[in-house]
């Protein structure tokens, strides 16, 4: 029940705004803020109701609901969460009120439509993370496109129409194939779309094609190189809030799909596909970083950095190791926080200066010390400075894929250069924007106002919290990640692919467990 409340409360807000929008802008903003805050508070209840010792989906009535929907077609309304979706739900409900506050003064036309789109989008995203029925999943997956389409298309920048159409068509092309995959699974799942039943059946016929059908849809969303071309356009043209949601949550729907569907349902196909997915992920990491380095536009720079960061997440997921997958899930949260904050900061400076070009800035630290401080912390978090969140995720991903990944270790070595490149492009950008000579046009720029500080502070708290004490985030997801790894592992035991590598693995397996332990203690040592 609680879960359905969280999912549909924002939709209630949409209806409330639609009915009461005649009462003026402040009412609309008030409703949006109250509803989104309420959703966040209730979603914290999910965390307290969550039992970290359960493998798989939570079973209590509070966190699991199943209703008949279209019985004749084997469709049910089935929602539930596990340790992976829990964090993504909290991330979504956490970022939405921040977005509402961020949009407080910056939306001039169609404010009610904007807030309605934002809240409808929240319902769509939450639904994606909670659905335990493939039909329901697809409904949320597709319906979330419409509010995003409006957010970019109506409130975006110059080339917003091109960007929004590109975004919708890319996603739809991918989901068209996924739809076929879902239908094909249906007939192998006793004529039912139920996901929990699905995880217990299998292996499936044509699992390689099914894997591809799902994977391409998710890869476009992630976006994995070479499906990333929609992302810079969408990010640059989207309004600030659109970029925050896009980077913060929407991209995670792709990686979530991989860890929820691709890996556990088609482990064998996933193991086979590793040989071409890992190179793509590594290319994405390096290519994204290199392209980010030469961007003259702040927003585009952050957008390309997303391509690079999400490459790490895919790498970790396909390392099919406990540390790698756990690190990837954590990195999804990290990226949502850090990149979300970066887009907010870029949005704030754009509101003041009406420019995002790096050359237009310089020496801002003198004029805007608070802004510079926030920007620095977020920049360092994005780079992966130890003690901040980015480090934990990236370290676990690299460790997991280096020790246990069923692919050449050189890939991990190349991927690691991505961390260095990240430091290059982020710090170089920071230096050009914050230090140096202050341009006369920038003399009058105001520092952050209390509203902006209020909306950035919670993000910073989490950035430090995850960096210092990641266990509070890692522990609840441990069992769920275990289950994914166990499903993936069953096929690794059958010598289907790359026998030589598996032998290596089994020799090392003793060490692997050890090294993971070492890692955990390292983390804890770090805290002390």
Residues that bind other proteins in the complex, under the rule CB under 8 A: 69-73, 75, 109-110, 135, 138-140, 142-143, 145-146, 149-150, 153-154, 160-161, 164-165, 168-169, 172-173, 176-177, 179-180, 183-184, 186-187
The residue among 139 and 283 lying less far from other proteins, judged by its C-beta, is: 139
- Using a 10 angstrom Cβ sphere, with 0-12 exposed, 13-18 middle and 19 or more buried, the burial of residue 177 is middle
Q: Bridge-partner residues for 80, per DSSP?
A: 64
At closest approach, how far in Å is the CB of 290 from other proteins? 31
The residue among 71 and 440 lying less far from other proteins, judged by its C-beta, is: 71
The residue among 69 and 502 lying less far from other proteins, judged by its C-beta, is: 69
At closest approach, how far in Å is the CB of 235 from other proteins? 18
At closest approach, how far in Å is the CB of 173 from other proteins? 5
The residue among 145 and 399 lying less far from other proteins, judged by its C-beta, is: 145
**Pair of tokens at residue 383:** 């780079």
CB-based contact 17:32 (threshold 8 Å): yes
* Separation of alpha carbons 35 and 133, rounded Å: 26
CB-based contact 184:168 (threshold 8 Å): no
The residue among 67 and 507 lying less far from other proteins, judged by its C-beta, is: 67
Q: At 65, which helix (H) or strand (E)? A: strand 64-70
At closest approach, how far in Å is the CB of 236 from other proteins? 16
At closest approach, how far in Å is the CB of 153 from other proteins? 5
Query: What residues contact residue 413 under an 8 Å CB cut-off, 6+ apart?
Result: none
At closest approach, how far in Å is the CB of 302 from other proteins? 24
The residue among 1 and 173 lying less far from other proteins, judged by its C-beta, is: 173
At closest approach, how far in Å is the CB of 138 from other proteins? 7
Please work out, in degrees rounded to the nearest 5, the angle formed at the alpha carbon of residue 215 by the alpha carbons of 52 and 414.
Answer: 85
Place of tokens 């949005």: 347
Omega of the bond prior to 148 within 30 degrees of 0, cis? no
* Separation of alpha carbons 230 and 248, rounded Å: 16
At closest approach, how far in Å is the CB of 92 from other proteins? 19
| Residue 67, phi then psi, degrees to nearest 5 | -130, 150
**Pair of tokens at residue 220:** 């476009």
Distance of CA 392 to the CA centre of its chain: 16
Grouping H, G, I as helix, E, B as strand and the rest as coil, residue 67 is: strand
Measured from the Cβ of residue 500, the count of other Cβ atoms closer than 10 Å reads 8
What is residue 74's DSSP assignment?
Answer: T
- Using a 10 angstrom Cβ sphere, with 0-12 exposed, 13-18 middle and 19 or more buried, the burial of residue 72 is exposed
At closest approach, how far in Å is the CB of 113 from other proteins? 8
* Separation of alpha carbons 292 and 310, rounded Å: 14
Radius of gyration of the chain (CA): 22
The residue among 142 and 508 lying less far from other proteins, judged by its C-beta, is: 142
At closest approach, how far in Å is the CB of 111 from other proteins? 12
The residue among 75 and 98 lying less far from other proteins, judged by its C-beta, is: 75
Comparing C-alpha atoms, which of 251, 420, 435, 280 is closest to residue 340? 251
The residue among 123 and 255 lying less far from other proteins, judged by its C-beta, is: 123
CB-based contact 434:364 (threshold 8 Å): yes
The residue among 109 and 528 lying less far from other proteins, judged by its C-beta, is: 109
The residue among 142 and 489 lying less far from other proteins, judged by its C-beta, is: 142
At closest approach, how far in Å is the CB of 88 from other proteins? 21
Q: Bridge-partner residues for 79, per DSSP?
A: 65, 131
């Amino acid at each position: 029940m609680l879960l359905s409340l969280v999912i549909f409360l924002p939709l209630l807000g949409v209806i409330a705004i639609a009915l009461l929008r005649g009462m003026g802008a402040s009412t609309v903003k008030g409703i949006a803020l109250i509803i989104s805050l309420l959703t966040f508070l209730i979603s914290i209840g999910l965390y307290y109701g969550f039992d970290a010792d359960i493998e798989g989906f939570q079973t209590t009535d509070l966190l699991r609901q199943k209703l008949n929907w279209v019985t004749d077609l084997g469709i049910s309304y089935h929602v539930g969460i596990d340790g992976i979706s829990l964090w993504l739900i909290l991330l979504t409900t956490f970022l939405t009120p921040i977005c509402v506050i961020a949009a407080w003064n910056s939306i001039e036309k169609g404010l009610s439509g904007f807030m309605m789109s934002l809240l409808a989008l929240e319902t769509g995203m939450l639904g994606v993370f909670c659905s335990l029925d493939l039909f329901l999943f697809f409904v949320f997956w597709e319906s979330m496109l419409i509010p995003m389409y409006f957010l970019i298309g109506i409130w975006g920048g110059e080339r917003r129409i091109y960007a929004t159409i590109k975004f919708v068509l890319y996603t739809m092309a991918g989901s068209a194939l996924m739809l076929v995959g879902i239908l094909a699974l249906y007939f192998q799942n006793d004529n039912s779309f139920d996901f929990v039943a699905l995880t217990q059946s299998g292996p499936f016929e044509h699992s390689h094609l099914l894997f591809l059908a799902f994977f391409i849809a998710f890869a476009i969303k992630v976006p994995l190189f070479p499906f990333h071309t929609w992302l810079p356009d969408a990010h640059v043209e989207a309004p600030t809030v659109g970029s925050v949601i896009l980077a913060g949550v929407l991209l995670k729907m792709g990686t979530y799909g991989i860890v929820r569907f691709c890996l556990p349902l088609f482990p064998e196909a996933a193991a086979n596909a590793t040989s071409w997915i890992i190179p793509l992920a590594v290319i994405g990491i390096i290519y994204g970083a290199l392209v980010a380095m030469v961007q003259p536009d702040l927003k585009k720079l952050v957008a390309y950095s997303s391509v690079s960061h999400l490459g790490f997440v895919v790498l970790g997921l396909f390392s099919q190791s406990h540390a790698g997958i756990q690190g990837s899930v954590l990195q999804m949260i990290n990226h949502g926080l850090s990149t979300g904050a970066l887009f907010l900061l870029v949005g704030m400076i754009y509101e003041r200066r009406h420019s995002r070009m790096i050359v237009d800035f310089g020496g801002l630290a003198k004029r805007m010390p608070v802004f510079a401080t926030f920007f620095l912390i977020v920049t360092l978090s994005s780079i992966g400075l130890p003690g901040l969140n980015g480090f934990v995720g990236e370290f676990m991903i690299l460790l997991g894929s280096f020790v246990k990944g069923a692919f050449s270790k050189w890939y991990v070595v190349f991927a690691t250069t991505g961390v260095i490149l990240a430091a290059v492009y982020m710090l170089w950008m920071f230096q050009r924007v914050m230090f140096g000579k202050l341009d006369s046009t920038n003399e009058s720029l105001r520092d952050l106002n209390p509203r902006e500080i209020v909306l950035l502070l919670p993000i910073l708290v989490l950035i430090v919290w995850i960096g210092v004490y990641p266990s509070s985030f890692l522990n609840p997801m441990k069992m769920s990640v275990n289950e994914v790894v166990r499903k993936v592992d069953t096929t690794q035991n059958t010598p289907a692919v790359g026998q030589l590598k598996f032998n290596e693995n089994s020799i090392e397996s003793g060490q692997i467990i050890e090294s993971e332990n070492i890692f955990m203690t390292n983390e804890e040592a770090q805290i002390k």
